[in-house]
Amino acid sequence: MLAHELHKVLAGRGVVAYLARRGECDITDTDQLASIFERHRPSLLLNCAAHTGVDLCEDEPDRANSINGNGPANLARLCREYSAQLVHFSTDFVFNGQSDRPYRPDDAPDPISAYGRSKLLGEQAIQQTTHLSWLIIRTAWLFGRHGNCFPRIILNRARAGHGLSVVNDQLGCPTYAVDLAVAVFDLLDRGAKGIWHVTNSSPTTWFDFAKSIVTQFDVSTEVKPISTADWVALRPKQAKRPAYSVLDLGPVKTLLGRNMRDWHDALKDYRTEHEIC
């Protein structure tokens, strides 16, 4: 979802980039990575590889830690060796969801799921790598044209004639992959380093997000609100989600001189791209 959009932005800037496919670039395989670095000698590496199956991570935490924790550590060491800048993508899941205000980049992480803990391991590995130029971007609720995402799941179920029950007590901000990709390079252009939070603006719930999706795509289906507690009762083995995971966009607004646009506007563009596909 994100890698394609990053590649598109680079192409628009006239930059030739190597888009490493999953089958040819396993970030847990140090020998394979070393070979790729030696062949391409990157000046900038954008790591979009991750184990993002939040519920699955609960069943296979070692694999999650290997991909989301050890993988970024491997990349960090090689980026240092080749003097390449590393851009790594992390998540709102590194927080516990108990805040009463948007999470700032310097707030203390406290993940409540195996996925969140594995992503925090990756962040820490990068930060602990000395003499490395790095940028960690935390984002949330990512959606886009490529790959599976919440809008696609909602549309597929709605068009199949299924009613929808969607959680209405988890608050966050959807993020359009196109907007995230543009923001990444705007940040790099301005010399950003360290940890940044980037999402679209206007906090919402999954329920309101789902309602907006079916409305935007003119799909007639009933969307019912459900509490997290009721949802967990239906699927007791799922991972814990932060109830509140709104990320503070203040630093990004200050550096870029603009707000991240409202996710409602991004959803309209998503529909246009979806129809073109």
* pLDDT, tens only, 58-115: 999 999 999 999 999 999 999 999 999 999 999 999 999 999 999 999 999 999 999 9
Q: Look up 103 and say whether it is catalytic.
A: no
Rounded CA separation 175/119 (Å): 18
Rounded CA separation 32/102 (Å): 39
Q: What is the mean pLDDT of the chain?
A: 96
Backbone dihedral angles phi then psi of residue 33, each to the nearest 5 degrees: -65, -45
Residue 277 has pLDDT above 50, yes or no: no
Angle at 55 between CA 64 and CA 273, to 5 degrees: 95
**Predicted local distance difference test score (pLDDT) of residue 275:** 62
273 — pLDDT class (breaks 50, 70, 90): confident
**Half-sphere exposure at residue 191, Cβ-oriented, CA atoms within 13 angstroms:** 0
Cβ-Cβ contacts under 8 Å for 198 (sequence gap 6 or more) = 137, 138, 139, 175, 180, 183, 184, 187, 247, 249, 252, 260
Percent of the chain with pLDDT over 90: 93
Q: Which of 18, 82, 103, 115 is catalytic?
A: 115
Closest CA to 10 of 20, 1, 19: 19
Rounded CA separation 4/9 (Å): 9
Pick the CATH number of 2-276 from 3.40.50.720, 3.40.50.300, 3.40.50.1820, 3.40.50.11900: 3.40.50.720
pLDDT digits (tens, 9 = 90+) for 148-193: 999 999 999 999 999 899 999 999 999 999 999 999 999 999 999 9
**pTM as predicted:** 0.96
Domain residue ranges in the chain: 2-276
